[in-house]
Structure 1
């Protein structure tokens, strides 16, 4: 069997196994994503796997660069990748995607046991000054006269909201005016 025939068979198997599974995503016929853990799980991560031309005779490319994984430290990512590469070496020459996904699911706890979420908070002095300037802007309110306030209140409903179409142009009036101009 050629590498392409092996890939086609494995692709068909993956589609049937993971049909309807929200954790599995087929990016292309040679590129896949699999989420290990639930979305709410702080130890969840996404595996990106891509088949090179000679897969399964050559190892798939494994990546943890998905945006979902930004909170995982570089050390934890390296640990996960090294453990997965051990599994790849053990299964080289055979269809291994299902094996890798299931191994990662079963070993999620041990892979993520030293995981400390990365928190990225970027603040700069310009952010701080813009926050104080917006606070000053909020202090200044436009003062309305009593008649302006009455006019606004008369237009609003009991919830304080303006009715739908309150600022629409009277279409019939405008259309009739335009028709009158055309006739002249």
Structure 2
């Protein structure tokens, strides 16, 4: 079989295995992402794997440079990639994506054992920026939201539709009632 036929067969197998799995994402026919761990887990990471033209005879390119992995230190990323590369070397020449993904899932704790979440970078700002920001914060705190009574809230809820929006013309006045009040107020006779 040629490399392209092997790739097509493996792609078809991956699609059927991971159909409906939110951990697997096919970026293109030769590029994939696989999340190891739950989204809210601090020790989860996202593998991005792309196939070169001669895959599976040539090793796939494995990357951890996605935004999802921005809290992982460069040392931990390098350790994960080196361990994944060992698995690639052991499976070279055969379809290995499923094997790599499952190995990473099984060894997540080992791969992330030295993981210390990276703190975000600190930016230097001037004192004038601090003063401007603090004055704008104090202005925001002074603005209070209008407080409604219970009866006002009930009336407001009674007027809204299923989307929480007021219907068109909810605050329009009754034209006839308004005109008749004007006639009464100013003692004007109705036209004949």
TM-score w.r.t. the length of structure 1 is 0.76
Q: What is the correspondence of 1:59-74 to structure 2 with a 5 Å cutoff?
A: 59-74=59-74
Q: What is the correspondence of 1:106-117 to structure 2 with a 5 Å cutoff?
A: 106-117=106-117
Cα distance in 2, alignment partners of residues 6 and 166 from structure 1: 61
Q: Which runs of 5+ in 1 are unaligned?
A: 143-148, 174-184
Partner of 2:76, secondary structure, is helix
Instruction: Determine the structure 2 residue equivalent to 1:38.
Output: 38
Q: What is the correspondence of 1:102-141 to structure 2 with a 5 Å cutoff?
A: 102-126=102-126, 128-138=130-140
Cα distance in 1, alignment partners of residues 168 and 131 from structure 2: 39
Which structure: larger Rg? 2
Cα distance in 1, alignment partners of residues 154 and 171 from structure 2: 24
Cα offset, 1:22, TM superposition = 1.0
2:153 matches 1:158 = yes
Q: What is the correspondence of 1:46-85 to structure 2 with a 5 Å cutoff?
A: 46-85=46-85
Cα distance in 2, alignment partners of residues 141 and 77 from structure 1: 47
Cα offset, 1:2, TM superposition = 0.3
Q: Which runs of 5+ in 2 are unaligned?
A: 160-165, 176-192
Partner of 2:70, secondary structure, is helix
Cα distance in 1, alignment partners of residues 79 and 138 from structure 2: 49
Cα offset, 1:119, TM superposition = 1.5
- Distance of aligned partners of 1:72 and 1:137 in 2 relative to their CA distance in 1, 3 Å threshold: same
**How many residue pairs align between the two structures?**
164
